[in-house]
Structure 1
């Protein structure tokens, strides 16, 4: 066959196939282009004001955990419910005249106690802070050290002519310190098993979050009745699937009444707002009666944590809340699903796409036009972030992926509740369809002739 004739036929079929592809692309653009049939009115990310974006958390600094504990005094100061070991020769126990004194009993501490062995007969400090001993009036001992109590007992028995000065040698030791009953409720799973690592906790959160809470009653010794010891007793600091804060609900009646009044005021304001359809119902503000202690703060911010904040009393509740709502959703050309946001570092849109399984430059193999998109090989280039605003509103943030790769300012951070929808631009669909048509039908027609 003449070579010129063969080349003429080849170019004829190529022009025919390309023309067919262009014609089909024009038809497709009128009937199947998702940017036309499913339009999303978005605002470019670089044009939105800062209030539409979450605050970065990459630079948050952990709070010094020493601020969550109490500084114990140099010498233990007594209080109600302390149990003392007291031995007073000739009085406690009573010895008849001309009989040898009995040796004081030895008391060994409980298994989990850090106290040394003590001697003496157990006598508890009463609720009013007094110590009742034989033959004398109750002594005020609250706030005193063991040495001060020992000297006060000695003086009392000498002043009442019960013991001579050379015989008054009382022994006072601490058998058991007072404790505080605190309730700890954890939704991070660490309270059930202290042996699981934080990495395992994170994996469990990603596979399928378990929102069940674990709780229990913790007995904290005096001067260890603080938030840090309560957390250590129940598994340590909050895990990765918990919020970076600790909440404390006080058990006092005043705080309970304050919380109840806060709830009543909130629902009253909601009812009043519902009477006017043009007024946005208020959101639930933070309860002022609940103490919130952050565990991470921006650089330069000094935490305002006082010893009174971290000190726990009987009946107080320490609450570790999970972050089950800190997720984002995906759709469109991205695999649909719900994905957790990292707790301690930022996640921008490119990282979110990679987490969802749709990286930059990756074709999704959509189903449009008989799979021609996947044959064309041009990836989708437009991402929309549907972000909620107050009063059940919504803003659509438009992210051009080509610009986002080259400009960090065009890569907004993902915040909880966002929905990421990946779409083809119209020209991308046309190009994919044209290329797919050529490689599918044009080459077949060329080989056939």
Structure 2
């Protein structure tokens, strides 16, 4: 009797039995350990059904602001004010000469190495804070806003009217020895040493702000010159804006009142358990000047906005909070968002080390720490974007990676604070387990005996 057909039937039966056992085990393991859609369900809203108010604001089309708007236009002729130091020479008066003595020649003053002024002639006389110029034998002259030629004529007329000099002897010389300066404080959080790759966020690099006192000459006391003196426009680690905090007492009081009112509103809201705590609104006493705007938008930046006075603070704020987080099959991570271009969910996954369609056989099989290995090699195909909403709320955006690959509208933009969770679908878990079981048990049974 030929036993070969009987042996073949027995082998087939054993293979079928092993498949049944493996399938049962697979269903058990999938249901109770690996399938995150059952053990760790997330109630998500498909990306194509999400209301527009939950989407991130695109920034790919933003264009840089014309930086000339950040500077002052100097006048054709220099206008004097308090703090200017003039070189004044008046023959017979400054300096005083006895009637029979020959006149002394005027002193020549050479400017500092970093000054753009030419050499000047005369004795140094400072313009007072009230805009007056004190000279010998006459009342102080009001020179606020006058040019050098106008001051020269005013001095000549004053000495002639006082009968101190005859018209043919009144030939004063007026030059500028030193321009007035404005002491501005610049604080920058974009000039510290960076190591790249998000390390500045994880505390692996220096996050201390740099800054100092900058002396700006008259008609250069603007935002552009303050930035140029301290390193240029804000870098990629800083926000695309410049904050100005005025030093005058009125603005300081406004800022203090604003903070007090906000915290008073918070305390009142805490008394109502159903009320949402108010978010910090925009401080009206702080001037924010954007450096990138939408196409066709011309920002309303006036000379008063960019003009800096002594004590004003120019603040370049860091983007250290503009990050997104990853979890699930992507592993835990924290990554900085690009400043000047959009990043969708597929690009965010690529930055996190998981490209679309790639498989990762070294990580767990589900959710936030699943237990079934991806033996079959089928990549995970479901992504959830956990996005914060006002009032400490949250919305979960569901993204099917198969659809996202073919339809850009299925790839939402990532915004600061988002958490990306990569998971397997239940059918992907089953398929991975079935393929793994076949290559682990089925092939062995086929070649057994």
TM-score (norm 2): 0.93
Partner of 2:32: 31
Instruction: Pick the structure with more helix per residue.
Output: 1
* Counterpart check, 1:54 vs 2:51: no
User: Quick check: 1:84–1:172 contact (8 Å CA) kept in 2?
Assistant: yes
SS of residue matched to 1:173 = strand
Partner of 2:407: 407
Matches within 5 A, 1:256-405: 256-365=252-361, 366-368=363-365, 373-405=373-405
Question: Structure 1: how far apart are the matches of 2:344 and 2:3?
Answer: 60
SS of residue matched to 2:447 = helix
Matches within 5 A, 1:228-247: 228-247=224-243
Change (3 A) 1:77 1:201: farther
Partner of 1:93: 95
Partner of 2:169: 167
Q: How many residues align?
A: 442
User: Quick check: 1:211–1:324 contact (8 Å CA) kept in 2?
Assistant: no
Between 7-16 and 140-149, report the one with greater CA deviation. 7-16
Partner of 1:193: none
Change (3 A) 1:100 1:202: farther
Change (3 A) 1:98 1:38: same
Question: Structure 2: how far apart are the matches of 1:328 and 1:178?
Answer: 48
Question: Structure 1: how far apart are the matches of 2:377 and 2:199?
Answer: 36
* Counterpart check, 1:45 vs 2:47: yes
**Structure 2 runs not aligned, ≥5 long:** none
The Cα of 1:79 is off from its aligned counterpart by 0.2
The Cα of 1:2 is off from its aligned counterpart by 10
The Cα of 1:436 is off from its aligned counterpart by 0.5
The one-character-per-residue Cα deviations of 1:274-302 (angstroms, maximum 9, x if unpaired) are 11111111111010111011111111222
Change (3 A) 1:204 1:64: farther
User: Quick check: 1:372–1:437 contact (8 Å CA) kept in 2?
Assistant: no
The Cα of 1:263 is off from its aligned counterpart by 1.0
User: Quick check: 2:365–2:374 contact (8 Å CA) kept in 1?
Assistant: no
**Structure 1 runs not aligned, ≥5 long:** 191-195
Matches within 5 A, 1:8-19: 15-19=16-20
User: Quick check: 2:15–2:442 contact (8 Å CA) kept in 1?
Assistant: yes
| Aligned-pair Cα RMSD in Å | 2.3
User: Quick check: 1:245–1:294 contact (8 Å CA) kept in 2?
Assistant: yes
* Counterpart check, 1:178 vs 2:175: no
SS of residue matched to 2:374 = helix
Matches within 5 A, 1:105-120: 105-120=107-122
User: Quick check: 2:198–2:335 contact (8 Å CA) kept in 1?
Assistant: no
User: Quick check: 1:248–1:290 contact (8 Å CA) kept in 2?
Assistant: yes
The Cα of 1:245 is off from its aligned counterpart by 0.7
Question: Structure 2: how far apart are the matches of 1:388 and 1:429?
Answer: 29
Question: Structure 2: how far apart are the matches of 1:105 and 1:181?
Answer: 29
The Cα of 1:29 is off from its aligned counterpart by 3.0
Matches within 5 A, 1:184-263: 184-189=186-191, 205=200, 208=204, 210-263=206-259
User: Quick check: 2:236–2:339 contact (8 Å CA) kept in 1?
Assistant: yes
User: Quick check: 2:182–2:310 contact (8 Å CA) kept in 1?
Assistant: yes
Change (3 A) 1:368 1:70: closer
Partner of 1:416: 416
